[in-house]
Structure 1
Amino acid sequence: MIAVNILISLVVIVVLQFAGMFVFSLMTPFRDMEEINKGNVAVGITMGGKFIATAIILGIAAYTNSSIAHMSLWFAVGYVCLIASYWVFDWVTPKFKLSDQLEEGNVAVGILLASVYIGIAIAVSSLII
């Protein structure tokens, strides 16, 4: 029975991770994977930051909750905070549009945005605990 619970939890975690990445990819006017295939390092770095940030939120939600429903709920709460961080960060940097800078391959913006995602994920995770 324990093995079945672990397997179900693992499947749910993987599905939530990739669902989170899919939602993140909808936030930009360009296709993340197409940009990465073109060699756009800025988008690759940002996507890596998104993946790590999503995994941090998901890991803490899984660690601190004993049911899949509660884990999924807290992941959703944390994930909404990650998405909001993108829009807030874009709003507080009015001199340039994040998506345009990423599409142009601005690595500095990619690193900064990945760091923002990871930092927000760590901060939000402390709220989940």
Structure 2
Amino acid sequence: MSNTGFWSNPLVETAGYFSVVVLCLIVSMVLFELVTKYKNWEEIRKGNLSVAFATGGKIFGVCNIFRYSIERHNTLPEMIGWGLFGFVLLIFAYVLFEFLTPKFNIDKEIAADNRSVGFISLIISVGLSFVIGASIS
């Protein structure tokens, strides 16, 4: 059996995409940790539901963007490139969300467990991931 046959096996392809996306998800969570003023996993451990909402929305958003990228692009480098581009747009959306709410600080409200702000952050991440995903596919 040639290498081409092995690599084109759906089980191998799925395991490869899964592994790469999990790695990209870890990198994106580290980058989101740097962008926010609070420590995501420390706050979640303490039971901060707002941070859990916001972080869950980011995780869903990143995975959804990569879902579109996997569906559309034929090579692993293309899939990674477009997925990471979509992730950058998601970070931009988070910064824009902070900028467009000058009456209060999004990071401070989420850190203080303002569940309304955490929930809106989740919805923005999820909603925009569909728009970003559709545009990269």
User: Could you state the TM-score of these two structures normalised by the residue count of structure 1?
Assistant: 0.94
What is residue 115 of structure 2 aligned with on the other side? 107
What is residue 17 of structure 2 aligned with on the other side? 9
What is residue 27 of structure 1 aligned with on the other side? 35
**Deviation above 3 Å: which 4+ runs of structure 1?**
3-6
> Residue by residue, what CA displacement relative to the aligned partner does 1:26-58 show, whole Å, maximum 9, x if unpaired?
111121111111111100111111111011001
User: Could you state the TM-score of these two structures normalised by the residue count of structure 2?
Assistant: 0.89
Following TM superposition, by how much is the alpha carbon of 1:8 offset from its aligned partner in structure 2, in angstroms? 2.4
In the alignment, structure 1 residue 80 sits paired with structure 2 residue 109: no
- Cα contact 2:21–2:63 (8 A) shared by 1: no
2:114 is aligned with what amino acid? N
Point out the structure with max Rg over C-alpha: 2
Count, aligned residues: 129
In the alignment, structure 1 residue 59 sits paired with structure 2 residue 67: yes
Following TM superposition, by how much is the alpha carbon of 1:6 offset from its aligned partner in structure 2, in angstroms? 3.5
1:49 aligned residue (57, 62, 68): 57
SS of corresponding position for 2:108: helix
1:91 and 1:41 map into 2 onto residues whose CA distance is 23
In the alignment, structure 1 residue 118 sits paired with structure 2 residue 126: yes
CA-based RMSD of the aligned residues comes to: 1.1
What is residue 70 of structure 1 aligned with on the other side? 78
Which sections of structure 1, spanning at least 5 residues, go unmatched? Answer: none
Deviates more, 1:102-111 or 1:8-17: 8-17
